[in-house]
Chain A
Amino acid sequence: MIRLPVPLTIGAVLSAIFLAMALLSFAWTPHDVEQLVIADRLQPASGQFWLGTDQFGRDLLSMLMVGARVSLAVALVAVGIGVALGVPLGLAAAATRGSLLDEVIMRGNDLIFAFPSLVIAILITAVFGPSAFNAIIAIGIFNIPVFARVSRGGALSLWTLDYILAARVAGKGKVRISAEHILPNIANLLIVQATIQFSLGILAEAALSYVGLSVQPPTPSWGRMLADAQTMIYTHPMLAVLPGLAIVLMVLGLNLMGDGLRDLLDPRLRRQRQ
C-alpha cells in the first residue's frame, strides 16, 4: 500500500469537506439563505441554528455552505480559463521556440505579469458591473500567463528528448507531437499549478466580494459575509471569525494538497525520498 504524506492527506481531507459542503448546498441547506427572518436575528449557536444567525436572521452554516459553492465555482472556472487559453499558448511558444510567435506570446505574458492584478480586477468588475461572471473573467485573465509560462517551460525541456525526435522522424507534425507526447508529460506540472491558482483564486474572489465586486446579494459569499460582519464586530465577533476561518481552511487545504502533489508527482523528489 502506498503511504500518502501527512500534509497531502490533511489537504485532501480539508478540500473534500468544503467540496462536499458546496455540493450538498445545491440539494439541501439547514435553512433558506435568501429569506430574512428578523425575529431570528443574531441568534447564538443552538440546535436549530448550528452556528447561529446573522443580523438579518439568516443561518450562518447555510450561508457558509452556499458561500463555499460560490467561492469554488468562481475559482474553478477561472483556473479553467487559465488552462484552456494558457496551455495552448505555452505549447505553441515551445514548439516554435525562438520564433516571432514565441517572442510575442512571452512578451505578452510579461506584460500581464507586470500589472497589479487586483487593481485591474477591481477596474474590470467596476466597469462591467459587479457580478460573479465578471469576477471570474477578472481572475481568469491573470491565470493565462501563469499556465502559458509553466507549460512552455515544461515543454521546452521535453522537445530536446530523443523520443520527441523519433516522433518527428516518424513524420508527426508539431501540433500532433504537442498534443500526444508533450501534453501528457507536463500534466503533472499543470495539476500542481492548478491547485495553487485555485487557492489564489479563492483569496481573490474573497477580496473582490468583500468590496462588493463579485456575486451580488441575496446570494451569500464568504467575502460579503465578512463585509457585513464588520459593523457587528464589537458585539458579535463570531460573525466575522467564521467566514474568515472558512477561507483560511479552504486555502490551507488546497495549498497543502498542491505541495503534497508536487512532492508525489515529481520523480526527482521521489527518488530522493527512497
Chain B
Amino acid sequence: MLRYILGRLVSLSLSLIVASLVIFTVIEVIPGDPAAFMLGLNADDSTVAALRADLGLDGSRAECYVAWITGMVQGDFGTSYTYRVPVADLVADRLWVSLPLAVLSLILSTLIAFPIGLIAAANRGRAADYGIMGGTQLGIAVPNFWFAMLLVLVFAVNLHWFNAGGFPGWGTPIMALKSLVLPSIALALPQAAILARVMRSALIETLAQDYMRTARAKGLSRRQAVLRHALRNALIPVLTIIGLQFSFLLAGAIIIENVFFLPGLGRLIFQGITQRDLVVVESVTMLLVFAVIVVTFLVDIAYAIADPRLRRRG
C-alpha cells in the first residue's frame, strides 16, 4: 500500500510541475505589458519601469517562474494589479462561495443518482428502467447554464421562491444557503444523470458475478446480498466518476457563477481576464488545477482501499 501511495505521489508532483509550467507559459504569451496597461496611455516610461519592478516583472523568465512557484508554496499568491490586495485574500473570500457550491452540488448529485441508479438496475429491462434511462439521456444533453436559466425562470421569475442571483454573504447563513440552492441544483442535475448511469451499469455487472450466486446459495436474502456484496463492488467505478465530477463541478461553477452573479472563484477569473490582472488569473487557475489533481490523487487512494487488487498491481 505504501509503495502504491508513493508511486501516486510521484506522478502527482509531476502533474503539478507540468501544469504550472503550462499555465505560466500560456500567461506569458498574453500580448501587452501589464504595467503599461494598468497605468494607461499617458504614463511615462520610467513610471512603467518602476511598476514593472514593483510587480516583479523584471528578471529572466526562469526567475519569474521560480519566484511564482516558491510564493505559491508559501501561500503568497502575489498581489492583484487592479485590487491592490494580496490574491490570497481575494481567493479566501471567493472560496467561501465556490467551495460550498461545489460541495452542495456533489452531495445533491450523489443523493439523486444513487437511488435512481439502484432502481434502474433492480428493474432492468422493465418500464421503470427505460423511463430512468431516457430521463438520464436528457439530463446529459442539457447544458447546466441553460438549465440554470430555466430554474431562474420558473422559481425566481414566476414563483418568486428564490432570488434570481446575487449572494448576501455568510452574515445571514440561511439567506446565503438559499442563494446557493438554485445554482447547486443546476450544477448537480446533469452530473446526477451521468452518475446514475454509471451506478446502474456497475450494479448490473456485479449482480451477474458468480460471487453473487454464491452469496444467495449460502442463504443471504437478495437484499442482504446486494447490500453486502454487490453495492461495495459497484462503488469502485462510481467513486472514480464522483472524483472526476469534482473537476467538472469546479469548472462548471465558473459558468454557473456567471448566470447567478455569485462572487466566486469563477467570476474572479473572468474579472482578472477582462482587467488583464494576470497575477489573479495565473494563481487562481493554478489553484483550481491543484485542487483537481489532488482530488484525483485522493480518489486513487480511496480506490485502492476499496479494491485491494489494485494495490498489488501498484
| Interface residues of A, Cβ cutoff 8 Å to B | 107, 110-111, 114-120, 122-124, 126-128, 199, 203, 206-207, 210-211, 226, 229-230, 233-234, 237, 240-241, 243-244, 247-249, 251-252, 255-256
**Does B233 sit within 8 A of A, measured CB to CB?**
no
Tell me, in angstroms, the Cα distance from A234 to B164 when the chains sit together: 10
Set of chain A residues within 8 Å of B201, measured between Cβ atoms = none
Which residue of B26, B255, B292 contacts A123 across the interface (Cβ within 8 Å)? B26
A128-B31 Cα distance, complex, nearest whole Å: 8
Q: Are B27 and A127 in contact (CB under 8 A)?
A: yes
Nearest chain-B residue to A251 (Cβ)?
Answer: B141
Asked if residues B23 and A123 are in contact (CB atoms below 8 Å), the reply is yes
Asked whether B137 lies within 8 Å of A233 as measured between CB atoms, the reply is no
B114 to chain A, nearest CB (A): 22
- Taken together as a complex, chains A and B put the C-alpha atoms of A241 and B138 apart, in Å, by 15
Task: Kindly identify which residue among B137, B141, B289 contacts A116, using a CB–CB cutoff of 8 Å.
Answer: B289
B141 touches A119 (CB 8 A): no
Contact B292 A116 (CB under 8 A): yes
Report the bound CA distance from A123 to B19 in whole Å: 13
Q: A122-B254, A226-B146, A251-B141 are in contact. List 16 more A-B contacts (CB 8 A).
A: A110-B11, A111-B19, A116-B289, A118-B252, A118-B255, A119-B250, A126-B281, A127-B27, A207-B255, A226-B149, A233-B152, A237-B157, A244-B150, A247-B141, A248-B138, A251-B140
User: Per-position contact with A for B269-283: 1 when CB-CB < 8 Å, else 0?
Assistant: 110010000000100
Complex Cα gap A207–B187 (Å): 13
List, sorted by A's number, 24 A–B pairs whose CB atoms are closer than 8 Å: A114-B292, A115-B19, A115-B289, A116-B247, A116-B250, A116-B288, A120-B289, A123-B281, A124-B26, A127-B26, A207-B145, A207-B255, A211-B270, A229-B149, A230-B149, A230-B259, A244-B142, A244-B150, A247-B146, A248-B141, A248-B146, A249-B141, A252-B138, A255-B141
Residue of B nearest to A226 (CB): B146
Binary interface encoding of chain B residues 59-80 relative to chain A, with 1 for a CB under 8 A from any of its CBs, else 0: 0000000000000000000000
Q: Inside 8 A of A128's CB, which chain B residues have their CB?
A: 29
Q: Which residue of B lies closest to A213 (CB)?
A: B273
* Bound CA–CA A229/B281 (angstroms): 28
How many A-B pairs with Cβ below 8 Å?
Answer: 111
Distance of A232 Cα from B250 Cα, bound (Å): 28
Write the nearest CB–CB distance from A206 to chain B, whole angstroms: 5
Q: How far is the CB of B258 from chain A (nearest CB, A)?
A: 6
Q: Which residue of B lies closest to A130 (CB)?
A: B273
B290 to chain A, nearest CB (A): 10
- Could you tell me the distance in whole angstroms from the C-beta of B24 to the nearest C-beta in chain A? 11
Within residues 1 to 18 of chain B, which ones have a CB less than 8 A from any CB in chain A? 11, 14-15, 18
A186–B138 alpha-carbon span in the complex (Å) = 29
Task: Please determine whether A240 and B153 come into contact, CB atoms closer than 8 angstroms.
Answer: yes
Interface residue range, chain B: 35 or more
Contacts of B149 in A (CB 8 A): 226, 229-230, 233, 240, 244
Q: Does any Cβ of A come within 8 Å of B293's Cβ? A: yes
Tell me the smallest distance from the CB of B164 to a CB of chain A, in Å.
8
**B56 proximal to A (CB < 8 A):** no
Residues of B contacting A: mostly: helix
Name B residues whose Cβ lies closer than 8 Å to a Cβ of A.
11, 14-15, 18-19, 23, 26-27, 29-30, 137-138, 140-143, 145-146, 149-150, 152-153, 157, 247-248, 250-252, 254-255, 258-259, 269-270, 273, 281, 285, 288-289, 292-293, 296
Residue of B nearest to A247 (CB): B143
- Most chain A CB neighbours (cut-off 10 Å) among B19, B142, B146, B296: B146
For the complex, what is the distance from the CA of A116 to the CA of B98, rounded to whole Å? 15
Are B258 and A211 within 8 A (Cβ)? yes
Whether A117 pairs with B251 at a CB distance below 8 angstroms is: yes
Best-surrounded residue of A119, A199, A230, A255 (most CB of chain B within 10 A): A119
Contacts of B150 in A (CB 8 A): 240-241, 244
A34 CA to B258 CA, complexed, in Å = 26
**A119 contacts B289, CB within 8 Å?**
yes
Q: Which residue of A lies closest to B23 (CB)?
A: A123
A253 to B, closest residue via Cβ: B141
Distance from B292 Cβ to chain A, minimum over Cβ atoms (Å) = 5
Residues in chain B near residue A255, CB distance under 8 A: 137, 140-141
CB distance from B18 to the nearest CB of A (A): 6
Known contacts A123-B26, A233-B152; is-contact A226 B289 (Cβ 8 Å): no
- Tell me which residues across on chain B come within 8 A of A127, comparing CB atoms: 26-27, 29-30
Contact present for A207 and B143 (CB under 8 Å): yes
Query: B27 — which chain A residues lie within 8 A by C-beta?
Result: 127
Asked if A206 and B143 sit within 8 Å, CB to CB, the answer is yes
Residues of chain A within 8 A of B153, CB atoms compared: 233, 237, 240-241
Complex contacts, A243 vs chain B, CB 8 Å: 146
